[in-house]
Structure 1
């Protein structure tokens, strides 16, 4: 079970979070977000995959950020079509071949409240590497509350997914329960429930959560 910490913004805070060795660090490129990122990223260990988060951005904009920040994961948080994902995949493959770098993952986000039509996913199968399920709310992520995870009991796909949306220390028992199922959960994605301000993470609380996740992995 991998951990992604999303919505990073401040250099010192990034370095502190990096010390906890999450598997992914997320940086949001969306001007309407209070976590919109336009800074430098400090050098990270190779074990941490830098993740660029975009909302209906042009493919050119995404590729430009990949070149600037060396992202290993692109997370699409808008209404991007399967054709967009296919075109982006082709561009990223071209870039990886030219630069002789490892291939770049694509994660497609879908927002859920208390129901979801899983038929929507079929068009994206075989194009994106992972789905990410987040809470449907006013904001594009960082809404601070969970959706009804029982909806995922009907998940019909073998494509692994990332569980996101309002996950904090209070959700540890719920996380333990869902990890006992045979759902193909690849990672847990956390953001606003671990913040003291937008983009500023509470290191002590993240440390507790990471330790709990490690126990789940070992158990």
Structure 2
């Protein structure tokens, strides 16, 4: 299996270069005010420009976005994919896909096996699924917290759409995460940072090398 990777929460040219040079299949930009990785669509568009010539997909990460913001996002960044990391229902997810004309990734928060079953309602609508660690109830952010869930929960599941594994991945555990989960695509943000929101190009390179070995 050829495992690919998304480097998420990018905010500097150096981090983008490391992701592209290292062979990432996707790069992600976060549009959520409470995140230390928050960026505005116009700045993200400037950073994403080099990806357009390398067949690397640009992902816009949102949390319960309204229509006005979606319109601005598409106009400024023209993402390949819109990632939905909030409480979007299947109906809202479908509406976002129709409004933007882009592929949609729906994040499914996981703490136990029963959570994975939620994916079935979204499979007919989305381009990808993402399985991410369910945050604590009092968390201000829905992801990017550096915590993993039991990867073995994904074993044996088959989905109609390609899916991402996220949550607590880093250069040292990603190979084991792929082995246990069978994930075809992995997603990392805080696991390649030297501080909240501060991407380390060397860690990005190391992560992508680990993914290749996996």
Instruction: Please classify the TM superposition score into its range, dividing by the shorter chain length.
Output: 0.7 to 0.9
Unaligned 5+ segments in structure 1 are 94-103
Pick closer, same or farther for the CA change 1:87–1:177 going to 2, 3 Å: same
2:169 corresponds to: 167
Return the alpha-carbon distance in structure 1 between the equivalents of residues 71 and 165 of structure 2: 25
2:94 corresponds to: 86
After superposing on structure 2, the runs of 4+ consecutive aligned residues of structure 1 that deviate more than 4 Å are: none
TM-score by length of 2: 0.85
* Cα distance per residue 1:160-213 (max 9 Å; x no partner): 21000010022134134236x4xxx33100110110122222222221221222
1:56 corresponds to: 64
**Deviation of 1:48 (Å):** 1.5
2:180 corresponds to: 178
* Paired residue secondary structure (2:94): helix
Work out whether residues 5 and 24 of structure 2, in 8 Å CA contact, stay in contact via their aligned partners in 1.
Answer: yes
- Match runs of 1:20-39 below 5 Å: 20-38=22-40, 39=43
Residue 209 (structure 1) aligned to one of 195, 203, 207: 207
Structure (1 or 2) with the larger CA radius of gyration: 1
Return the alpha-carbon distance in structure 1 between the equivalents of residues 121 and 112 of structure 2: 22
- Match runs of 1:104-115 below 5 Å: 104-115=102-113
Work out whether residues 76 and 109 of structure 1, in 8 Å CA contact, stay in contact via their aligned partners in 2.
Answer: yes
- Match runs of 1:13-162 below 5 Å: 13-38=15-40, 39-40=43-44, 41-42=46-47, 43-46=49-52, 47-93=55-101, 104-137=102-135, 138=139, 139-153=141-155, 155=157, 157-162=159-164
**Deviation of 1:154 (Å):** 5.3
Unaligned 5+ segments in structure 2 are none
Stretch of structure 1 that moved more, 194-203 or 24-33: 194-203
TM-score by length of 1: 0.83
Task: Give me the CA root mean square deviation.
Answer: 1.9
* Paired residue secondary structure (1:117): helix
Return the alpha-carbon distance in structure 1 between the equivalents of residues 175 and 106 of structure 2: 26
Return the alpha-carbon distance in structure 2 between the equivalents of residues 24 and 141 of structure 1: 18
**Deviation of 1:64 (Å):** 1.8
Return the alpha-carbon distance in structure 1 between the equivalents of residues 17 and 161 of structure 2: 32
